Amino acid sequence: MKFTKEHEWLRLDGDLVTVGITEHAAEALGDVVFVELPETETQVAAGDEVSVIESVKAASDILAPVEGEIVEVNTALADNPGLVNEDPLGAAWFFRIRIADSSVLDAFMSEDEYKEMIG
Amino acid sequence: MTDLLHLPLHALHVAAGAKMVPFAGYEMPVQYPAGVMAEHLHTRKAAGLFDVSHMGQVVLRPKGTMQDLGLGLERLMPVDVLSLAQGRQRYGIFTSETGGILDDLMFANRGGDYFLVVNAARKAHDFAHLAEHLADVAEIEVQQDRALLALQGPQAEEAFARLVPGARGMRFMDVAGFDTVFGPLWVSRSGYTGEDGFEISVPAAGAEGLARALLDMEEVLPIGLGARDSLRLEAGLCLYGHDIDETTSPVEAGLTWAIQKPRRAGGARAGGFPGESRILKELDEGPDRQRVGLRPEGRAPMREGVELFSEDGTPLGAITSGGFGPSVQAPVAMGYVPTAFAAPGTRIEAELRGKRLAAVVAATPFHPTHYKR
């Protein structure tokens, strides 16, 4: 698993990258009450705001960490946004991006590096 | 960066794991480890303890008679002060010369004086306002050395009566004083959550003891400003600086219930308050725009600043407070729309992240209130 500075986690399976937010991010956001998911079959660039997550406190953007095509979104989050607090690293994945070159993930942090960043 | 002020319960909040944030010049607890949602729901189900010591507390002691002082207050508010009986509290509004709202407040008749509680962000303004206009009729005693706690929820009476048995007999908007081990408490049966409960002014030296005694009780949890906001929003109550300010009149804001008959046209003491021409005209003819409740149709919260449109695209106004209602289990909001769009059931649209989403004008409160009348 890789991690971004924006507190997202990335998991690579073949040419698919699954994206979610970290436990640290979920805790900082507080109770999540709404998730807006991207459309599937859309091309995204790294840094695009593709998803919105709203907690009782505020709205936050979820960025596409890598360039590629959104091929699947986790519709369970639309019905049960609280999953983000319950299981951020598992059931609460947001979307899957098909990428051309898996080496783009090398640029992201390892778990140890991420833990060091959040202190 | 300016230094944030600390209130008497600061150490207790930190020890309880509160997340502290700047608010109106103070460092205040926005939430505790339980989180906003759990704190909100706990208050509706059991009892929550809020530290609202940042609010302004002021005693107005009459230089002459209480009647003269009451009439003095009526020069600043479109509210019937004179009929307020001893031992009772009422909601008040300081209005501006143009009919806007300078602040909203609670005032209590304690027999020998009036006790006022005003908003934190407005207290410097309000104290100056009182000094400017009431110096002839009142000694103005700002209470720097008292904390203010609110205990709210269906089990608030049970919890508070263990410490102050006499509080059990109070009804909604009653005020009373009690001598306790925490010092002399000034108690009102009121709050800003839509629930039954008490607001308790306590000497700073006794505040931590009182807070700990309450928090030691099984039904009482500490509640932060985050849940205070969602609770008052569900109760349809206005937040100064958001839902009401110097640009909104009390009539537009739907606060006409606070303008009693004696102050209206034809009343015994009609007019004679700042902004009377606009306010009496709006009472007579109706305002051009009104504060309304809004229920977004989807799950996306619509927050302050979100712009409102008619279904045919005409700009209507904006949301002044909004978020997710934990007890309603849906987003709720308040905002201003032209009177023609203010009837409950009217369908309008709100622009969220570039998209127009449906919302329906709804009666407030969004969640039934439970006051002990």
Do B174 and B135 sit in the same domain of this protein?
yes
Residue B252 labelled as part of a binding site: no
Cβ contacts of B306 on chain A, cutoff 8 Å? none
Confidence of residue B1 (pLDDT cuts 50, 70, 90): very low
% of chain B with per-residue pLDDT over 90: 98
% of chain A with per-residue pLDDT over 90: 94
Do B150 and B16 sit in the same domain of this protein?
yes
Do B244 and B274 sit in the same domain of this protein?
yes
Mean pLDDT, residues B163-183 taken together = 98
Q: Of chain B residues 22-41, which have a CB less than 8 A from chain A?
A: 31, 35-38, 40
Please count the structural domains in chain A: 1
Residue A107 lies in a domain: no
Q: Which of A30, A31, A54 lies closest to B300 in CB terms?
A: A54
* Residue A115 contacts B where some CB pair is shorter than 8 Å: no
CATH number at residue A9: 2.40.50.100
Residue ending a domain, among B286, B304, B337, is: B286
CB contact under 8 A, A30 and B324: no
Mean pLDDT, residues A50-72 taken together = 94
Mean pLDDT, chain B, rounded, equals 97
Report the distance separating Cα B256 and Cα B259, nearest Å: 5
Helices and strands in chain A, H and E counts: 4, 9
Question: What is the pLDDT at residue B155?
Answer: 98
Cβ contacts of B304 on chain A, cutoff 8 Å? none
Q: How many CB pairs under 8 A join A and B?
A: 41
State pLDDT tens for residues A80-104: 999 999 999 999 999 999 999 989 9
* Residue A109 contacts B where some CB pair is shorter than 8 Å: no
Q: Of chain B residues 208-247, which have a CB less than 8 A from chain A?
A: 226, 230
Q: How far is B316 from chain A (nearest CA, A)?
A: 24
Residue A29 lies in a domain: yes
State pLDDT tens for residues B189-221: 999 999 999 999 999 999 999 999 999 999 999
Do B161 and B224 sit in the same domain of this protein?
yes
Do B252 and B187 sit in the same domain of this protein?
yes
Nearest alpha-carbon partner for B39 in B326, B269, B263, B332: B326
Please count the structural domains in chain B: 2
Do B282 and B294 sit in the same domain of this protein?
no
For residue A49, give the chain B residue with the closest CA.
B353
Residue A73 lies in a domain: yes
Do B266 and B310 sit in the same domain of this protein?
no
Do B157 and B249 sit in the same domain of this protein?
yes
State pLDDT tens for residues B318-360: 999 999 999 999 999 999 999 999 999 999 999 998 999 999 9
Do B110 and B85 sit in the same domain of this protein?
yes
Do B302 and B225 sit in the same domain of this protein?
no
Q: How far is A53 from chain B (nearest CA, A)?
A: 9
Report the distance separating Cα A3 and Cα B357, nearest Å: 34
Mean pLDDT, chain A, rounded, equals 95
- Cβ(A113)–Cβ(A4) below 8 Å: no
Beta bridge partners of B61: B139
ipTM score: 0.84
For residue B325, give the chain A residue with the closest CA.
A56
Q: Which of B299, B300, B324 lies closest to A56 in CB terms?
A: B324
State pLDDT tens for residues A1-32: 999 999 999 999 999 999 999 999 999 999 99
Domain encompassing residue B178: 1-286
Mean pLDDT, residues B63-75 taken together = 98
Q: Which of B40, B230, B353 lies closest to A52 in CB terms?
A: B353
CB contact under 8 A, A30 and B31: yes
Residue A118 lies in a domain: no
* Residue B301 contacts A where some CB pair is shorter than 8 Å: yes
Do B141 and B256 sit in the same domain of this protein?
yes
Interface test with A, best of B42, B299, B351, B357 (most A CBs within 10 A): B299
DSSP letter (8 states) at residue A38: P
Question: What is the pLDDT at residue B2?
Answer: 58
Domain encompassing residue A35: 2-101
Residue ending a domain, among B235, B263, B286, is: B286
CB contact under 8 A, A56 and B300: no
Q: Which of A31, A36, A57 lies closest to B300 in CB terms?
A: A36
CATH number at residue B295: 2.40.30.110
State pLDDT tens for residues B254-286: 999 999 999 999 999 999 999 999 999 999 999
pLDDT at B95 > cutoff 50: yes
Cβ contacts of B38 on chain A, cutoff 8 Å? 31
Interface test with B, best of A37, A54, A56 (most B CBs within 10 A): A56
Mean pLDDT, residues B177-181 taken together = 98
Do B85 and B51 sit in the same domain of this protein?
yes
**Burial zone of B15 (CB within 10 Å; 0-12 exposed, 13-18 middle, 19+ buried):** exposed
CATH number at residue B232: 3.30.1360.120
Q: How far is A16 from chain B (nearest CA, A)?
A: 28
